[in-house]
Amino acid sequence: MSYFDAASAAPLHPVARQALHASLDEGWADPARLYREGRRARLLLDAAREAAADAVGCRPDELAFTSSGTRAVHTGIAGALAGRRRTGGHLIVSAVEHSSVLHSAELHAGNGGTVTQVAVDRGGAVSPEAFAEALRADTALACLQSANHEVGTVQPVAETAEVCAAAGVPLLVDAAQSLGWGPVGGGWSLLAASAHKWGGPPGVGLLAVRKGTRFAPQGPADERESGRAPGFENIPAIVAAAASLRAVRAEAADEAARLRELTDRIRTRVPLTVPDVEVAGDPVRRLPGIVTFSCLYADGETLLHELDRAGFSVSSGSSCTSSTLTPSHVLRAMGVLSEGNVRVSLAPGTAAADVDRFLEVLPGAVAAVRARLGAPGGADPRPAETETAETPETATTGTKSAGADRDGAATAGPLVLDALGKLCPLPVIELAKVFGGVPVGGTVRVLADDEAARLDIPAWCAMRGQEYVGEEPAERGSAYVVRRLS
């Protein structure tokens, strides 16, 4: 089995396993106690804090260990907003932040605060200028991930931190995906990360709050971890997390070069061997081990199962996976195709042979999924122009055909395709089936109530060289209008 989902959780690093086992015998006591066992536990905790702080680029007394990366984000945002409540209640986040940031933003808005989401470009990156435009006199905090968890795009943290610092606004950085590859540069104020992303044990996060940052811990007071993470520290897991972070950093330069070559191989080969594929994310400013692509006319959940049966564990931001009913907010913000999405995230040590085997298996897996859905298999989906939209194949989709004069010019109204009640990728598949019956210059009005259609129909138009006219209100769902150009 080839595990290609390291962006969700990396396999436990051998150094982490060794450190965990060793510290179970020495780090079980209360580090706040003065007797021998307590002093031993305190020494282990202090050493782990120093090692982690060195990796982060902060002072040991600026770093607290939390129960998870999500908890670190929640605590960091809540504490920073509370510490600057006199400034105002305005929060800035990027549109592609991790859900832990966006959920905190939703809670803040629900409690009367205001939130601005900064848009990204098609590669998934923000611009520092966009953050500068979002800053206001009442801005209390800004948040920006160091690198995106779905497409791997690296964000301009240092430049954005400079913009925020000039306005006197602290910047919180979610460094979960990137910290194992190197420190986050720039003048950030707060930083959160999670050990299971770099090969440490799950259940350990860290939160760094630099001196001079106004911060007010929320919830009942606790004397542990500077009041930022109440409860008894899991010292064995913390020691293992710090040890594995140091270990992966030592290997980072060589592994980054090797994994980047493997993901470049995927980015290059997949569009050549699988028709109608869109590769997402910045091709240059990206993490070494992550590559994401979407396959037109494919069901994301079925494709993941197909790859799992072939021995590959991958993830997906597709709306047609069992874990979600809406497209990935990251892919939606980028404006790229979401259906049939596959995220490959390679862990350090991934063998090149496993990647080559994946590239051999993928085309057949995608073709099999498309065939089950009755979708075009990758050739131009448009039937011959002599066919009409009222063929037996298309009549079952609930269409009404526009007319055409003897010169082939469009007349009357648009063809109406009823795809209501159909989930991704069926609306796009049905659109492809009827589109050949539309005269050049004519339009199709696709009625759909699946959220993914808002993203996937414009993406289909871009991939097929047709014009996406826009979205119109409808009695149910929305109407998406497409004009045939050729």
Rg (alpha carbons) of the chain, rounded to whole number = 25
Annotated catalytic residue within 143, 295, 320, 461: 320
Show the tokens assigned to 168. 């006197």
Q: What does the alpha-carbon distance between residue 114 and residue 137 come to, in Å, rounded to a whole number? A: 13
Helix intervals (H) in 383-468: 392-395, 426-435, 453-464
Show the tokens assigned to 262. 């493997």
Show the tokens assigned to 117. 């989401």
Show the tokens assigned to 267. 């980015």
Q: What does the alpha-carbon distance between residue 262 and residue 269 come to, in Å, rounded to a whole number? A: 11
Q: What does the alpha-carbon distance between residue 452 and residue 460 come to, in Å, rounded to a whole number? A: 12
Is 295 a residue of the active site? no
Element (H, E) at 475: none
Residues β-bridged to residue 124: none
Pairing of strands 90-94, 114-118: parallel
Q: What does the alpha-carbon distance between residue 255 and residue 356 come to, in Å, rounded to a whole number? A: 18
The contacts of residue 25 (CB under 8 Å, 6+ apart) are: none
For the chain, the first-to-last Cα distance in angstroms comes to 45
For residue 384, report the phi and psi dihedrals to the nearest 5 degrees: -60, 150
Q: CA geometry: angle at 219 spanning 139 and 33, to 5°?
A: 125
For residue 239, report the phi and psi dihedrals to the nearest 5 degrees: -60, -45
Provide the annotated active-site residues.
Answer: 320
